[in-house]
Amino acid sequence: MLAALFAACSLAHAAPAILVFGDSLSAAYGIPRESGWVALLGGRLKQRHANYTVVNASVSGETTAGGAGRIGEALAQARPAIVIVELGANDGLRGLPVAEMKANLGAIVRACKRSGARVLVVGMRLPPNYGPQYTQAFHRAFAEVARAEQVSLVPFLLEGLDDRRELFQQDDLHPVAQAQGVLLDNVWRKLQPMLRR
């Protein structure tokens, strides 16, 4: 399965790779894959003549524990210059301990750094019905990991969608194709400075 995901890297890495390591929000769940924000990122990089390839190793339903288990293989396959880590939403939706999520995210980030990649952590928020104590600790976790590991942070992938119900699929969790440009813009603001380094 991973071999297919990394087919884009088969050209002897003519261009440095950006590895997107996420869950369904990055795997274009429920919409055509070419409409997802990761595919749009590839188009924007070409538009801006940025010499990077994009490798999408996102898996729907992935938790941070699952990500921590497969990050080594993903890094070995893609050998990325930059890794965008977009994991944690499924931990939150399942009510898993925030401390465990932070530990897993930290392990993923450290593995990326050891490989020589620069890292961009993408934050998430939960709906209020999970209770203020859990939702606040969950949201803070991403910034705390980014600060501890001294890496860049997108505070909230879905910033700007808020209560706009028409921009979400029927499950109220996954943005529709028309909203993917907003997700890309949220990531791009923090990614663009990393491209110039």
In tens, the pLDDT along 144-158 reads: 999 999 999 999 999
Nearest to 90 by CA among 112, 110, 60: 60
Which runs of consecutive H residues, i.e. helices, occur in 62-97?
64-78, 89-93
Whether 2 maps to a domain, the answer reads no
CATH number at residue 45: 3.40.50.1110
Terminus-to-terminus CA distance in the chain, angstroms?
A: 32
The residue from 23, 91, 115, 174 that is catalytic is 174
Q: What's this model's pTM, rounded to 2 decimal places? A: 0.92
Cβ atoms of 64 and 94 closer than 8 Å? no
The residue from 24, 26, 58, 115 that is catalytic is 24
Whether 92 maps to a domain, the answer reads yes
Indicate if 58 belongs to the active site.
no
**How far are the Cα atoms of 29, 37, 145, 148 from residue 15, in angstroms, in the given order?**
27, 20, 29, 30
pLDDT digits (tens, 9 = 90+) for 14-46: 799 999 999 999 999 999 999 999 999 999 999
Indicate if 174 belongs to the active site.
yes
pLDDT digits (tens, 9 = 90+) for 90-105: 999 999 999 999 999 9
**Parent domain of 117:** 15-191
Whether 7 maps to a domain, the answer reads no
How many domains, in total, are found in the chain? Answer: 1
String of b and e for 156-166 (b: at least 16 CB within 10 Å)? bbbeebeeeee
Alpha-carbon distance of 183 to 190, in angstroms, equals 12
The residue from 162, 163, 171, 172 that is catalytic is 171
pLDDT band, residue 162 (cuts 50/70/90): confident
